[in-house]
Structure 1
């Protein structure tokens, strides 16, 4: 017999009078894991781990602020009437593309100030970044957001999903496409591909691991975004779909152009500006 369970509690625990939500716990866990893996890879590429930690200390708050600002900007009609909710990121409402734009700006400025090859740092960050995105989508799951169109129980069961996912996809009186899951699987698949390929000798020039990440993520995001019902819109257009197309094409053009230049070091050459040996 089929029955509908209540939605999972988005509150993980209480700390005094503070509610700690699963959304924040999941994202924080993803950031910590990504940082540890990035530091491990940075050492192999002759990048000082302290530089990675310093960069994250700057990039993380900027990424959160820019992600929220991006979301609020495209939902300004609502937030202009509810300004008190602008800072309530614990309820969801941050845009990944906004965070990527903010973080990328920080990385560029930081690397130039420390004489670290920017493309190399982006290569180190790319696999763990897409991994963190895949994990972070489960925060959307707990908040019952980033879902897709109405579907039925039979379809969800045909995907052989665990019961707790099926029950959580009962939103606003109907079963929904688990687009959060589609993107999570796509992101984790991209992470696996990147880490399997990046250490193959003479395969990637510096910058190409990051560009492959952009190509992979934007390609999948374009189609998954089309399934969602909560997309940010501008003049009737899904913003993330158009941005995905722009990034996909731009990444390919940059890849081809840099390859033709002929003087780009390989990813495995690491940081040639740092002559020290990192343990």
Structure 2
């Protein structure tokens, strides 16, 4: 018998319910901002630039995540238009948020005269860290899980008891796909943080490209296990299709920039820093 299920509501302030999901996301955004500012200092980019980017990127990212979800659930929302803005009832997609965030960053860099690939390389590990934490918000809400499974299978993965208990939903145990994605993204983050300061290893923009390659593969396989996927034509999982497109694009971009373009090396080892004009 399950002994404990985590309540999605952390605490109440009068009539206001503060949920764990919101707390986790706030911590994730704070961590991402701190990571970006800390790395930006090494690349001669002031903290105000990251704070200003955050103020634009986060709300518009959520708007993008919502629009993406609504587009691929249009049959429902066309019949219930009042629910389109009801984001508090659930219904956002991380790919939509990432796409919107990328657009905001490119416009921001153009307006501030900042090198976009350098900015992408700086914030990529921060975004990945936020994604890792954010999936635990799904865990608390008992969402974004996989198909039904057995208690024995979950125990065979040597998962902590609280994870197994939280995966008991409606009388069945489910695959903790949130955990699979969070775990493999953590491996990707460790690789990036371990390697990004190696002299003459990455050229400008390649940390971002590595992220695109890594996350698209992780998401492709995890998405295939989920039970709440968005579909195109009723048979194609949207996130899997987009993952394939992103992987091919990122691989092509990497090859093109290595062969045709001569971007600057990161020169961490020599102590030199990348200059830019404000």
Question: Counterpart of 1:106?
Answer: 104
Bigger shift: 174-183 or 86-95? 86-95
**CA–CA separation in structure 2 for the residues paired with 1:7 and 1:23:** 15
1:251 alignment counterpart: 250
2:29 matched residue in structure 1 = 31
Look up the match of 2:174. 176
CA distance in 2, matches of 1:188, 1:182: 10
Alpha-carbon separation, structure 2, partners of 1:260 and 1:99: 31
Distance 2:122 2:20 in 1: 28
**Cα deviation 1:192-246 (Å, max 9, x = unaligned):** 1101110000111110000000100001110010011110111121000010011
Give secondary structure in 1 for the equivalent of 2:103: helix
Q: Secondary structure at the match of 2:32?
A: helix
Q: Which runs of 5+ in 2 are unaligned?
A: none
Structure 1 residue matching 2:26: 3-state secondary structure: helix
The answer for the alignment partner of 2:113 in structure 1 is 115
**Map 1:128-143 → 2, pairs under 5 A:** 128-143=126-141
User: Secondary structure, in 3 states, of the residue corresponding to 2:18?
Assistant: strand
Shift of residue 267 of structure 1? 3.1
Equivalent residues of 1:150, 1:176 under 8 A apart: yes
Task: Verify the 8 A CA contact 2:146 2:176 in the aligned structure 1.
Answer: yes
The alpha-carbon distance between structure 1 residues 99 and 80, as it changes in their structure 2 partners (threshold 3 A), is same
| In 2: Cα distance, 1:30 partner to 1:209 partner | 20
- Which residue of 3, 10, 13 corresponds with 1:12? 10
Say whether 1:64 aligns with 2:66.
Answer: no
- Confirm or deny that 1:261 pairs with 2:260: yes
Q: CA RMSD in A?
A: 1.5
Q: 1:127 to 1:237 in 2, by over 3 A?
A: same
Asked if 1 retains the 8 angstrom alpha-carbon contact of 2:125 and 2:192, the reply is yes
Alignment of 1:45-64 (within 5 A): 45-64=43-62
Contact persistence 2:4–2:162 (CA under 8 A):
no
For each residue in 1:167-201, what CA deviation from the matched residue of structure 2 results, as whole angstroms up to 9, or x when unmatched? 11112321110000000101111111101110000
Would you say the 8 A contact 1:67–1:97 is kept in 2?
yes
TM-score, normalising length from structure 1?
0.93
- Of 82-91 and 211-220, more deviation after overlay is shown by 82-91
Q: CA deviation at 1:91?
A: 4.4
Provide the C-alpha distance between the structure 2 equivalents of 1:15 and 1:88, rounded to a whole number of angstroms.
Answer: 22
Residues in 2 aligned to 1:134 and 1:183: alpha-carbon distance in whole angstroms: 8
Q: Distance in 2 between matches of 1:85 and 1:140?
A: 21
| CA distance 1:167–1:85, shift in 2 (3 Å) | farther
CA gap 1:214/1:29 in 2 versus in 1, 3 angstroms: same
**In structure 2, distance between residues paired with 1:165 and 1:217:** 23
* 1:21 partnered with 2:19: yes
- For 1:272, the equivalent position in structure 2 comes to 275
Q: Secondary structure at the match of 2:11?
A: strand
| CA distance in structure 2 between the partners assigned to 1:91 and 1:270 by the alignment | 46
